[in-house]
Amino acid sequence: MASLGRVPDDGRIALVTGANRGIGREVVRQLAERGYTAVLGSRDLDKGRAAAEGLGPGVEPRRLDVADDRSVRELVAALEREFGRLDVLVNNAAIDYDTWQRGVDADLDIVHEALETNLFGAWRTTQACLPLLRRSRHGRIVNVSSGAGALSDMGGGTPAYRVSKTALNALTRILGSELRGDGILVNSVCPGWVATDMGGPGGRPVDEGAAGVMWAVLLPDDGPTGGFFRDGRPIDW
């Protein structure tokens, strides 16, 4: 993987959704370690506060349910008041890794639930944050996706999760093109199979998965946008 770059020297602000555990929490830790003010978004504020313990003074736990318009608006309004801008948005929140389902007889309520968080949650949060991101000199949006959403070798099973991540990748392409003129880089990152509550045991360490997300956060201003990456290398859609 390419170098993660320099420690920021201008007080950059980052928001990570779904960050009270797993990859999201580790991304927050790595951001704070590199000098960012890292806003740890969590549906349950108490869990967010517990997750923030030991991560350093630069971590700010906040309530955020990406599936709830009001919750998103309230957090963005708080970011506006407190910081006046946002430099990085990591859309990490995701649910329903439905390995038990097949497309032919999937429970569409579960599919809808997955889309509401994994796709629309990222979409509504991005839209709400755009005014703040446009005030940054180094705006970055990182959509935490998955190789499970790649069409290039997609098979059966896990329909809700797969479809939601494929759609998230399409959103990355659209936003990458539309925001290029604003200097905001938008990329999808597959962290690989990581040993988390969602990924289960046997995967790579969480710090390695989070490092791929950090690579996209720390891209230079002339870096790629609208791409799909794992460990800093392009992968097939």
Each residue's pLDDT tens digit, 2-36: 334 444 446 899 999 999 999 999 999 999 999 99
36 catalytic? Reply is: no
Closest by Cα among 74, 72, 121, 69 to 93:
121
- Cα–Cα distances in angstroms (integers) from residue 166 to residues 13, 98, 99, 130, 148, in the given order: 28, 15, 16, 22, 8
CATH number of 13-234: 3.40.50.720
Select which of 120, 161, 215, 229 is catalytic. Answer: 161
- Residue 178 neighbours by CB under 8 Å, 6+ apart: none
Q: Is 205 exposed, middle or buried (0-12, 13-18, 19+ CB in 10 A)?
A: exposed
- Reply yes or no on whether the pLDDT at 73 is more than 50: yes
Indicate the pTM of the whole model.
Answer: 0.93
- For the chain, give every domain's residue range: 13-234
Each residue's pLDDT tens digit, 159-207: 999 999 999 999 999 999 999 999 999 999 999 878 666 666 667 889 9
